[in-house]
Structure 1
């Protein structure tokens, strides 16, 4: 059914490439939230995100957009809940496979809230605590996103073609196929986000 239109949304660890795409879709997509809070622990990434998806532009689409560096906040749970007046978030997206982040997402869910675990862990035993009292009595639920289907791809291409979303923000490097080997060998040393390779016939 998608996210709750005019609801409260949080994107945790959301200033990376996939998070940028989520911000774009949340603000410019068909069902924007009323409040969108994006967190990260890297101020440089947050500043870049804020320069691309500005609060002013979000406001034009009816979204109150906030960027939060949680690195030095003592009680992150209470701080984030303050954006909802203690009500909780209807949709919480987790963009990093970190146990504490998943557990934080669970704690800030509103009644009938949805935790969307977008980050793909490499550890097959990755686990986190989940409040099953809230699952039973508050109807909270968890979904995992590991890619889309054909309909999702068609929708994404349609949104791009209409200029509603722009995936360019997710890419910081573009090179030809001759760059693939060198880039792969030096990935940890290369700053930026996604790397795109273009092959010309």
Structure 2
């Protein structure tokens, strides 16, 4: 199986500074390649040389951090932002203070323009002079918004796809164990 990839590199900077890229690596198997040929590896000064043999081994972050393609992965609830226009004086203070520009002023009133950007900080409620404030901030705890940031080794789509494959494998393993327990003969 394709569990390991070997690449070699032998590069010299003859005339001036040279950046060595992932595309300079020579593959043992050309079907296994980095996500991009333009990933910088090292800069060489004139006269410097690098020679190496690199091994890439298939694995998961559970075993070692080097297999974690994600630099950040978070989730949050879907925000719900409502304005009671019968009580709003359209002063615009909420639009001014909002760090994510959730509110905008349109046609003499404040409207929710980017609800999904709300981070639930409630600065808009705190700055409002109307008591109780006409703005209501809450969240839908049945809807999650996921943020996945890649370090560049895999696309976000690929990270999610691979994660779902792993979950599917683990779910099937769990179902098989459960089925074994259910079908196990009872002891008297």
Instruction: Tell me which interval the TM-score lies in, with the shorter structure as reference length.
Output: under 0.3
Scaled by the length of structure 2, the TM-score of the pair is 0.20
Scaled by the length of structure 1, the TM-score of the pair is 0.19
Q: Which structure is higher in strand share?
A: 2
Larger Rg: 2
Q: Which structure is higher in helix share?
A: 1
